[in-house]
């Protein structure tokens, strides 16, 4: 165990980056792309094939992560964690009502359009890959190496920041820099909330499901707006969306308030078997 984790013990920050972005690269490219080519030979379109490949890749990365730190890391949810995580995520329902109400305004009515296989596949890949890498891997590793009352909020910020950085890859698509920076900011806000819930409950499955639902609804709503002839949303709507997601970020910090940090530390002491070390 000591030799196996010697590098990560000596270089925790570098290991955090390697584990997080390495898992992301392996999921989407090293495993995802070959599966995409295999599915393409069977007539599956590229978008769907890439998404399915990414989903399979993220599951394999998750299994590798669990086995790498087994038996020290108790990855299975504790009693009540699944229900508790859903309860903590419930404010996102209010956010959805307001967000998709805004999209409905621009879509001229009900904003959601018919679900397509490639849309479902893309949303599922985002939910799995991003939550596995930026919550399960990044946050749990930080909880192993850096957990104390002062660092808990910083861990949520770090998770959101790393998640936001992935959207810089849109530069290769030629997207405007201002649009990309806006995406990075929104992703950071969202990432802080998801990291906070994960720190509180240690259950990544709920986050994967909520992330999948959010992206699926967003893809469908964007399509509805486009079909109504609206290509670019006005600046005021972008400000509204940023304010809504900033509120979710603030709520995430509220979940990590000082009075809650003792229980968070106890949870992660159990998950990393530190409670046994003290006996």
> 218, 190 in Cβ contact below 8 A?
no
Residue 38 in tokens: 């295999």
Measure CA of the first residue to CA of the last residue in the chain; give whole Å: 20
Within-domain flag for 62: no
Give residue 279's pLDDT: 44
Give residue 172's pLDDT: 75
Q: How many CB atoms lie within 10 A of CB 56?
A: 16
Residue 154 in tokens: 């910083």
Within-domain flag for 107: yes
Q: How many CB atoms lie within 10 A of CB 153?
A: 20
Within-domain flag for 71: no
Written as one string, the DSSP assignment of 169-187 is GGGGGT--HHHHHHHHHHH
Say how many domains are in the chain.
Answer: 1
Residue 212 in tokens: 């999948």
Where in the sequence is the domain holding 146, given as residue range(s)? 77-277
> 132, 138 in Cβ contact below 8 A?
no
Within-domain flag for 242: yes
Among the listed residues 17, 64, 13, 47, the one whose alpha carbon sits nearest the alpha carbon of residue 163 = 17
Phi, psi of 275 (to 5 degrees): -65, -30
Residue count of the chain: 279
**pTM (two decimals):** 0.94
Q: Is 148 exposed, middle or buried (0-12, 13-18, 19+ CB in 10 A)?
A: exposed
Give residue 80's pLDDT: 84
Within-domain flag for 13: no
DSSP class of residue 258? G
Per-residue pLDDT of 164-183, as tens digits, reads: 999 887 777 777 888 899 99
Per-residue pLDDT of 50-98, as tens digits, reads: 999 999 999 999 999 999 999 999 998 888 899 999 999 999 999 999 9
Within-domain flag for 17: no
Within-domain flag for 3: no
Give residue 173's pLDDT: 75
How far lies 210's CA from each of 49, 134, 163, 248, in Å? 22, 15, 16, 14
> 194, 205 in Cβ contact below 8 A?
no
Lookup result for tokens 């002839």: 229
Helix (H/G/I), strand (E/B), else coil: 124: helix
Contacts of 91 (CB under 8 A, 6+ apart): 248, 251
Within-domain flag for 98: yes
Which regions in the chain score pLDDT beneath 50? 1, 279
């Amino acid at each position: 165990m000591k030799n196996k984790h010697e590098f990560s013990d000596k270089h925790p920050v570098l290991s955090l980056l390697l584990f997080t972005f390495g898992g992301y690269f392996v999921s989407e490219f090293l495993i995802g792309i070959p599966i995409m080519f295999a599915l393409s030979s069977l007539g599956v379109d590229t978008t769907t094939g890439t998404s399915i490949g990414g989903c399979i890749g993220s599951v394999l990365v998750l299994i590798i992560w669990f086995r790498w730190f087994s038996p020290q890391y108790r990855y299975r949810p504790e009693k009540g964690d699944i229900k508790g995580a859903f309860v903590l995520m419930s404010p996102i329902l209010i956010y959805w009502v307001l967000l998709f109400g805004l999209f409905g305004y621009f879509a001229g009515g009900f904003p959601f359009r018919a679900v397509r296989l490639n849309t479902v596949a893309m949303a599922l890949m985002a939910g799995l890959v991003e939550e596995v890498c930026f919550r399960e891997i990044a946050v749990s590793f930080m909880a192993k190496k850096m957990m104390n009352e002062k660092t808990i909020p910083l861990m949520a910020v770090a998770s959101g920041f790393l998640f936001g950085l992935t959207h810089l890859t849109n530069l290769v698509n030629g997207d405007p820099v201002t649009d990309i920076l806006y995406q990075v900011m929104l992703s950071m806000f969202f990432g802080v909330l998801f990291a906070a819930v994960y720190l509180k409950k240690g259950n990544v499955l709920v986050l994967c499901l909520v992330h999948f639902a959010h992206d699926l609804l967003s893809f469908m709503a964007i399509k509805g707006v486009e079909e109504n002839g609206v290509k670019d949303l006005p600046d005021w709507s972008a400000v509204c969306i940023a304010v809504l997601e900033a509120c979710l970020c603030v709520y995430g910090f509220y979940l990590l308030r000082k009075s809650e940090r003792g229980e968070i530390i106890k949870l992660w002491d159990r998950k990393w078997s530190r409670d046994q070390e003290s006996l």
